[in-house]
């Protein structure tokens, strides 16, 4: 395995780890705000890392530019949709879960 492939593999595995963390957060976190927080942040980083890994593997500027575009559009869509879902939940009266008081 060449050096570039090792780098790309590291990026891809890192991206998958972020996706896994985001998914676990989506399933385990207590309320809609925490879940959106986990999903929007972790998945965007994961998508960035995976696009970077694929761009390294492709080693072609055109493909890299398309992948960067995919990442940016994904960022835009997930930011706005997370904002809209959170806004709708807040306006329809869902209270965020209170932090547990430390004794």
Residues near 46 by Cβ (< 8 Å), separated by ≥ 6?
15, 16, 17, 18, 19, 22
Distance in Å, CB of 89 to another protein, minimum:
12
Contacts of 28 (CB under 8 A, 6+ apart): none
Q: Which of 20, 63, 65, 80 binds another protein (CB under 8 A)?
A: 80
Q: DSSP letter for 35, please.
A: H
Region of 58 (left: φ > 0; alpha: ψ -120 to 50; beta: rest) is alpha
Q: How far is the CB of 41 from another protein (least distance, A)?
A: 17
Contact region for another protein (CB under 8 A) — 7-15, 17-25, 44-52, 82-90? 82-90
Q: Which of residues 18-77 bind another protein (CB under 8 A)?
A: 73, 76-77
Size of the site for another protein (CB under 8 A): 10
Residues of this chain that bind another protein (CB under 8 A)? 73, 76-77, 79-80, 83-84, 87-88, 91
């Amino acid at each position: 395995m060449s050096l570039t492939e090792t780098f790309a593999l590291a990026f891809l595995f890192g991206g998958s780890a972020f996706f896994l963390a985001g998914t676990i957060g989506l399933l385990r976190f207590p309320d809609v705000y925490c879940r959106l927080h986990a999903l929007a942040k972790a998945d965007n980083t994961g998508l960035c890392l995976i696009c970077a890994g694929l761009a390294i593997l492709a080693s072609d500027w055109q493909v890299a530019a398309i992948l960067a575009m995919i990442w940016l559009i994904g960022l835009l869509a997930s930011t706005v949709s997370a904002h809209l879902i959170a806004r709708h939940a807040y306006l329809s009266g869902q209270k965020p879960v209170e932090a547990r008081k430390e004794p």
